[in-house]
Amino acid sequence: MNVVVCVKQIPDPADPGALNPDHTLKRDGKLILDESDSYGVEMALQLVDKAGGGEVTLVSMAPNGEVSGLRTALAMGAAKAVLVSDDALKGAGALDTAKVLAAAVGKAGEYDLVLAATESSDGYTGTVPEQLAALLDLPSITFAKSVEIADGTVKVQRQTEAGYDECEAPLPALVSVTAGVVEPRYPSFKGIMAAKSKPVETVTVADLGLDAGIVGWAGAGQEIVDVAAAPEREAGEVIEDDGESFQKIVAFLDGLKVL
Amino acid sequence: MALSKVWVHAELTPEGTVAPISLEILAKAREISDVVEVFTGGDGAAIAETVGKHGATKVLATGDISDKLQGVHVGAALAAAIEGGDAPDAVLLGTTYDGRDIAARLSVKLDKPVLTNNTDIDVADGIVVSTQIFGGTQIVKTKFAAGGPAIATFRPKSFVAEETGGAAAEVAELGLVDAGAAGAAKLLNRHVEETSGPKLDEAAVVVSGGRGLGEAGKFDMIEELAKMLKGAPGASRAIVDAGWVPYSYQVGQTGKVVKPTVYIAAGISGATQHMVGMKGSKNIVAINKDPEAPIFGIADLGIVGDVHKVLPKLIEALKAR
């Protein structure tokens, strides 16, 4: 049972985000493993463990050769990683990102399952996993809140607006997982030490046999025409609770006639 | 410059009616295009009257595919129709589970970009969509530059649905195509979570709880207060991830977008992920221990205090009325 997990390394969401003059997201500081992806990594480790053998391979794309987020996932227990790093990737959109990841999955070896988060915490398009499935010509089940594998079939509870759907697909398949599908482990000290020597293969767009014209600004097929501050919402009255502040809330609700 | 024709996804609810988000997008589609048609991965006749009333003249329907996943099949059917010469200028969908899947599969089939999470669209100079970034503090406008059709998804409540009184839409077939290995996933069973009271994204009052509640059991206070105000209970991502309440309660970027008359945030600090889903509320009340919590920056009434003290008193006071 081999599982490929797509992971993204992002600027720490706790820091205020900022844009470069070319409207790309500033990624100068240390990048971390997107928390959303830790669920996919954990899910993959558990599925491989349950199957009694196999390995977890990470696939990632980052403009500046960044590996610190990958090391976190390797420390959790993934065996190896393929990182696509190339200046040509600047300005990539969802579709060209999926094309790059599809080519990188081809470098990851034989696989039974591809896992991804439903969306990244910085770009959150929520379309890359399904686009990746289309490019790899795989059946896919997105937005999984539970994943099980038995007899060459992946069984998934897929999140819906009203509840969930029970779905299944024959392997190989792609599944995108929601946060909360499993509880991600913290890397152990041993895991962190072991991760330092695990293989990370760094490749360029050309190494993947892709034309630089189909990725990044050149291939995204979109042009940012304006970035402006959104109209701000004014803060209202803020008071310290003196034991009677509930009356303020009652009066406020009364004024809005919702009582 | 109005567009000649757009296609809007008519997403179906478990009951088979048209989802509110599709009607919202129809209202905008009428404004930007001469001809508006819908497509659906289901029965067309059942929704022809509703979408007609909202301005669509045609329903392209696959017929029943309830045992399959929508994305791959509807995406392939749309691509085949477009390649067959019936191309619209734009394909508009909701940023929903199936909406994103259909848009994604279609984008690969046509090799065209898809732009998601939009809150507006403008066609005065090319097709330009607006997207909120950094927790809704900035708005990015992006132009489609790869030729048509433009594929775009919109967040719930970006537009206001409005009936035009149009006649029932003509029903036409959206022919399914063999999706091969990629089409092999099956949908076996649907589970609809029973909820009482108004729906989270339709309620006039929403009371949400966050990590500040301290423990799962304290969410009872949120449920009780919501019920007393004839509203719906909601939650921050933190307590959904912690397993205190189901995902269907989540308000925020990855959850529901709400715009109630009153939003009460109890024990929620106001992570950007949460604020994106509720900052459109008409009135916001926030209760939080931390005076520096970002939620106070957008609250109309902020109470710096302990939710365990303020909420019980508030509930008692409302009971006494």
Share of chain B above pLDDT 70, in %: 100
Are B58 and B45 in contact, with CB atoms under 8 Å apart? no
End-to-end CA distance of chain B: 56
> Cβ contact (<8 Å) for B310 and A237?
no
User: Of A195-204, B213-222, B271-280, where does mean pLDDT reach its minimum?
Assistant: B271-280
Q: What residue spans define the domains of chain B? A: 3-183, 205-319
Chosen for mutation from A24, A112, A125, A159 (greatest number of chain B CBs closer than 10 Å) is: A125
ipTM, two decimals, is: 0.92
Fold: same for B3-183 and B205-319: yes
Contacts of B263 in chain A (CB under 8 A): none
Encoding tokens for residue B234?
Answer: 């909601």
By C-alpha distance, which of A142, A182, A98 is closest to B185? A142
When CB atoms are compared, the residue of A168, A180, A250 closest to B318 is A250
B205-319 homologous superfamily: TPP-binding domain (3.40.50.1220)
Tell me the per-residue pLDDT of B130-175, one tens digit each, with 9 for 90 and over. 998 877 788 999 999 998 899 999 999 899 999 998 999 999 999 9
CATH of B3-183, one of 3.40.50.620, 3.30.460.80, 3.30.1300.10, 3.40.630.40: 3.40.50.620
Are B257 and B280 in contact, with CB atoms under 8 Å apart? yes
| B57-95 b/e (C-beta count within 10 Å ≥ 16 → b) | bbbbbbeebeebbbbbbbbbbbbebbeeeeebbbbbbbb
By C-alpha distance, which of A113, A125, A127 is closest to A174? A113
Q: What share of chain A is helix, strand, coil (3-state, %, to 5)?
A: 30, 30, 40
Encoding tokens for residue A201?
Answer: 């293969």
CB atoms within 10 A of CB B203: 22
- What is the model's pLDDT at position A13? 78
Query: What is the mean pLDDT of the segment spanning A69-91?
Result: 95
CA geometry: angle at A241 spanning A239 and A243, to 5°? 145
CA atoms within 13 A on the CB side of A227: 15
Ordered DSSP codes for A202-241: EE-TTTTT--GGGSHHHHS-EEEEEEEEPPPPPP-EEEE-
Integer Cα distance of A119 and A98 in angstroms: 12
Q: Residue A258: is its pLDDT beyond 90?
A: no
Q: Residue A27: is its pLDDT beyond 90?
A: no
H or E segment and range at residue B303: strand B301-304
Integer Cα distance of A4 and A22 in angstroms: 32
Q: Residue A146: is its pLDDT beyond 80?
A: yes
Interface of A with B in 94-133 (CB under 8 A): 94-95, 98, 118-119, 121, 124-131, 133
Contacts of B184 in chain A (CB under 8 A): 139, 169-170, 173
Chain B nearest CA to A211, separation (Å): 15
Chain B nearest CA to A195, separation (Å): 27
> Cβ contact (<8 Å) for A258 and B190?
no
Integer Cα distance of A227 and A211 in angstroms: 29
- What is the model's pLDDT at position B272? 84
A3-219 folds as Rossmann fold (3.40.50)
Q: What residue spans define the domains of chain A? A: 3-219
> Cβ contact (<8 Å) for A118 and B184?
no
Integer Cα distance of A189 and B202 in angstroms: 48
Encoding tokens for residue B26?
Answer: 């129809």
> Cβ contact (<8 Å) for B188 and A166?
yes
Tell me the per-residue pLDDT of B214-266, one tens digit each, with 9 for 90 and over. 999 999 999 999 999 999 999 999 999 888 998 889 999 878 999 999 999 99
Chosen for mutation from B95, B98, B132, B134 (greatest number of chain A CBs closer than 10 Å) is: B134
Determine the residue type at B50.
T
Tell me the per-residue pLDDT of B38-48, one tens digit each, with 9 for 90 and over. 999 999 999 99
Confidence band, pLDDT 50/70/90 cuts, at residue B194 = confident
CB atoms within 10 A of CB B52: 21
Contacts of A166 in chain B (CB under 8 A): 187-191
- What is the model's pLDDT at position B247? 83
Q: Residue A63: is its pLDDT beyond 80?
A: no
> Cβ contact (<8 Å) for B116 and A94?
yes
